[in-house]
Chain A
Amino acid sequence: MNFEYQKLDNGLTIIGEVNPLAQSAAVGFFVRTGARDETPEISGVSHYLEHMLFKGTDALSALEVNAAFDRLGAKFNAFTSEENTVYYAAVLPEYLMDVAGLWMQLMRPSLRDDDFDIEKNVILEEIAMYKDLPQFEVMDQARALHFGSHPCGSSVLGTNESVSSLTAEQMRSYFSKRYAPNNMVLACSGNFDFEALCQLAEKQCAAWNTVDTTRELDDFRGTFESKHIQNPNLMRQHICLLSPALSMQDPRRFAASLLGMILGDDSGSRYYWGLTEPALAEIAAMQCESMDGTGAFYSYLCCDPDKASAVLEVVRNIFAELKKTGVSESELETAKNKMLSAVTIKCEQPMGRLVSLGFNWIYNSQYQSVQQDVDAIKAVSITDISNLIQQLNPSKFTMLSLGPNPE
């Protein structure tokens, strides 16, 4: 696999990982914007804007956009997080240039008022849908509690109120500040011609204006508050714990991910033996999420409401034991093997590679090959993990509990 790189004069970065043996190719625009870049008045605008990109340009209506993607057989979609908005498509190699050209057009949308009004209904339905999914609701509420006034606590979806009162003009203003070429990366993986991609980008994107975009990158360790939200309509207690982890810029993030796996993988982890295996909780998972300048360990626990305090007691004991005795060589080796096989399987498809490729550039402006990921995982030592445990102290956490249980 070859890595290729080029930058247009206006700052648009184009990167590619070419694999001539692949049966498909994937392409995506990674835009460095998300909920953390919003003010409370426009909460939810990044995600709403992601929907509006599909509504077309001065030359293409919304229905024409959908038909154009489908004519290429594209597996396409987009997602918005606290800090990125990503548009992607996977296609057969013969359609790659066409689908890349379509995305380039859509990155300069019309944002028409009538499309804006209809799509507002869809966004409000999406907010309602997540209200009926407590496992998402608890994560969203817990993130807000943990990050407090730090921008990473902002809700991606926004609220009924913020979305209802949002205007198309506010969205257009946000778009002009965030969708600048110097704040975007065009990434491509699989079987494709990088030179041709760059020529197309030069033709379609060179006129986009550079804008000065900034983001505050303060780390934040968390509020460590606890909150209970009682909902008698729920059958289970849904609990989310957050504690500080490492940022995407920190080379020790591989060690932090391994620590998350040792503690909360769905098979053979400390949570598994302490909670799932003895049937105290049907779901007990922990993972490390590294973000821009900060990071957090997330735990999600789902259990019988009457067992919630016993579950939390076990979790506290797991963290106390971890602080006292660290992890064993065999636990670390096992976690490495699980992570290495996951990396191998994911990278066998161009779409699996695209996301790693794009995010490595968005966060660190660097290419990280699969082999470099593998080497970084293999290089993590017991001492690295011990140092992290002492520094990050996962036993001190923010907690949000949602369910019928009042406490």
Chain B
Amino acid sequence: MNNTLDIYHLKNGMVLLGERIENVHSASFQFLLPAGASLLPDRCCGAGSVISDWLFRGAGNHSSRELIEAFDRLGVHRHASASAHHLSLSASLEAGNLPSALELYADVIGNPQLAPEQFELSRQLAVSELQGLDDDPRHKTMVLLYEQFYPDPFGRPAIGKLDQLGALPFEKTAGIVKKMFAPSKTIFSICGNYDFDAVCKQIEKLFDLQTEQGLTEEQPVLKGKNCSHFPSEGAQVHIGLMTPAPTVASDSYYEIAAAVSVLSGSMSSRLFTEVREKRGLCYAVGASYKTMKDYAGISCYAGTTPEKAQQTLDVILEQFRVLKDGISADELQRAKVGLKTSLIMQGESTSARSSSIAADHFLLGRVRELAEIREKIEALSVDSVLNFLRKHPFEEFTIVTIGPNAVTV
């Protein structure tokens, strides 16, 4: 719990965050670029999925093959993904290779080659990945759930929509890439074994870029509660449901975390006990808190055979609803120790911390130190959690099911 935090602002507005972790040999870093699914122009749903592949198909003086080989020679474990707000490029590696890896990322972000023939291959891969979602009904359920739950454009699926990906134009996508590095909205975070001064100097030199104004969001359109069923011939009915909750920036954040932990933190939680242990209705059942900047909710998934689907949904909804009626001191104590343990173990992982500090900066405008989070968890009481639940009872649900039969609320 003694990790130290660093912060530095470049002249162009880009923020650099660092958290040193002692006794590790690795470093993990992340670039959060303001080009998430909610910021993409109309009819470009899924462009982030294409771009996160296309960027690595040649950059600076490196051809596609040279670039991939250069990353691999450094032993860099790369990941690129799109969320509602950001396109995220992250990497984990041995700390000694950090300067060389940052140089490559400067080319990928600031100087990608964007060859048309490579665009077509990236687009085809994105279409294939989206088609593959039909063979993963659990994942598809949650993609459809988020789309229905969040106001548009925040629920737009980062994985894309088939009609829009199929017709995605090269020029328009290249235009998005050229606009996506808006320094004042870009966050760089690094954790593990690094020299912050050296990293700042190098990033300052590599990212001394001023670009035109970045991408802008549309006005959100609220959707309200909703219940949808998508028929399919599978072995199970896949149930996704979500109810609104305050965001991570609210004063009640730690009460929400405790409530979700009582509901679904581990094997003694309400959902696991009532749905699986007592009734044997499911193998997989669980709920988690999801937060964006302005919208948040608690999402839940369960997969069950068709004849048990209605009972499964009924038991889950009942557990959400009765939470406000009381929780025991022992339940809260278990939730608190579980939350604290997760936090300390996260502090041992360079990649988990680098994404956490970047998310904190974006969502809260500052990075919470581990000690602060620990104090807030320790200060929770049964009364504080119940007060929150009575003010914010879980009553409205968006529900999506995929499977041989529908369920009713």
Residues of A in contact with B (beta carbons under 8 Å apart) = 21-24, 54, 62-63, 66-67, 69-76, 90-92, 118-126, 128-129, 131-135, 233-236, 238, 265, 267-268, 272-273, 276-279, 281-283, 302-304, 330, 333-334, 337-342, 344-345, 348-351
Contacts and interface: CB of A to CB of B under 8 A. Distances in A.
- Scoring A125, A236, A334, A351 by chain B CB atoms within 10 A of each residue's CB, the highest score goes to A125
B305 interface: yes
13 contacts: A24-B341, A66-B273, A91-B341, A125-B305, A128-B235, A129-B236, A131-B236, A132-B236, A132-B238, A236-B128, A304-B131, A338-B77, A341-B75
A340 B94 contact: yes
B405 interface: no
B338 A273 contact: no
Nearest to B56: A267
Contacts of B305: 124-125, 128
Nearest to B303: A129
Interface string B325-346: 0000010011001101110110
B83 interface: no
Contact of A122 (B65, B93, B236, B276): B276
Contacts of A23: 1, 344-345, 347-348
Interface of B: 1, 22-26, 57, 64-65, 68-69, 71-78, 92-94, 97, 121-122, 124-125, 128-129, 131-132, 134-138, 232-236, 238, 265-269, 272-273, 276-284, 303-305, 308, 330, 333-334, 337-338, 340-342, 344-345, 347-351
A338 B75 contact: yes
A132 B303 contact: yes
Contacts of A330: 69, 73
A118 B68 CA distance: 51
B319 to A, nearest CB: 15
Contacts of A75: 341-342, 345
A259 to B, nearest CB: 16
A235 B268 CA distance: 38
Contacts of B238: 132
Contacts of A66: 266-268, 272-273, 277
Contacts of B340: 73, 92
B350 A282 contact: no
Contacts of A126: 283
Question: Across chains A and B, which 6 residue pairs bring their CB atoms closest together, nearest first?
Answer: A121-B280, A341-B75, A73-B341, A73-B337, A337-B75, A66-B268
B312 to A, nearest CB: 10
B288 to A, nearest CB: 15
A337 B24 CA distance: 17
A354 to B, nearest CB: 13
